[in-house]
Amino acid sequence: MVRRKSGAVALPWEKRGTWRQLFGGSRWRVALAAAVLLAVVYGLVRYSSERHAERETLTVIGEVRHAIGLFRAHTGRCPSSLDEVLHPPRTTPRFLRRTPVDGWGRRLFLRCPGRFDPDSVDVVSAGPSGDFFVDDNVL
């Protein structure tokens, strides 16, 4: 404890430059508002990047489905893997120029014929988790 000149006792939080002065009045409200604003901006940026990756993945899946449709029309059969669509037999043209990856940079999974429709193809991305066993896959 510190004694004041008048003889009264000054408690530690009454000294200058302490936490009470820092968070007293409206300063703590400003700090709290800044923290909330930063959290909201961070959440919006993260949500926006996830949405962008999902849109990019859907676009790539559409391109791959189109290329597989061309492959099936040209060869009369399903490709065994995406590598066969990238590097088909010598008598057929290339249907894809580069290895298709989803918005998170991972390879896609191909099932031809499709699981429920034998005339279609299933092209699946593992989604943001990167795991096919988690329920965030992009079809």
CATH number of 49's domain: 3.30.700.10
pLDDT at 12 over 80: no
pLDDT over threshold 60, residue 1: no
Is residue 136 domain-resident?
no
**133, part of any domain:** no
Task: Tell me if 89 is assigned to some domain.
Answer: yes
State the pLDDT at residue 71.
85
Q: Which phi and psi (to 5°) does residue 17 adopt?
A: 75, 20
- pLDDT above 70 covers a percentage of the chain that reads 80
Single pTM value for the model: 0.63
Residue at 139 is within a domain: no
23 three-state secondary structure:
helix
pLDDT tens-digit map of 105-114: 888 888 877 7
Considering 36-45, 51-60, 67-76, the range whose residues carry the highest mean pLDDT is: 36-45
pLDDT tens column, 60-107: 888 888 888 888 888 888 888 888 888 777 777 778 888 888 888 888
**Are the C-beta atoms of 106 and 82 separated by less than 8 Å?**
no
Q: Number of structural domains, the chain?
A: 1
Does 137 or 2 have the greater pLDDT score?
137
82: which residues sit within 8 A by CB, 6+ positions away? Answer: 64, 96, 99, 100, 107, 108, 110
Q: Which of 47-51, 78-82, 130-134 has the lowest mean pLDDT?
A: 130-134
Residue 39 pLDDT greater than 90, yes or no: yes
* Domain assignment present for 138: no
- The domain containing residue 76 runs over which residues? 2-124
pLDDT at 57: 87
Asked if residue 56 is part of any domain, the answer here is yes
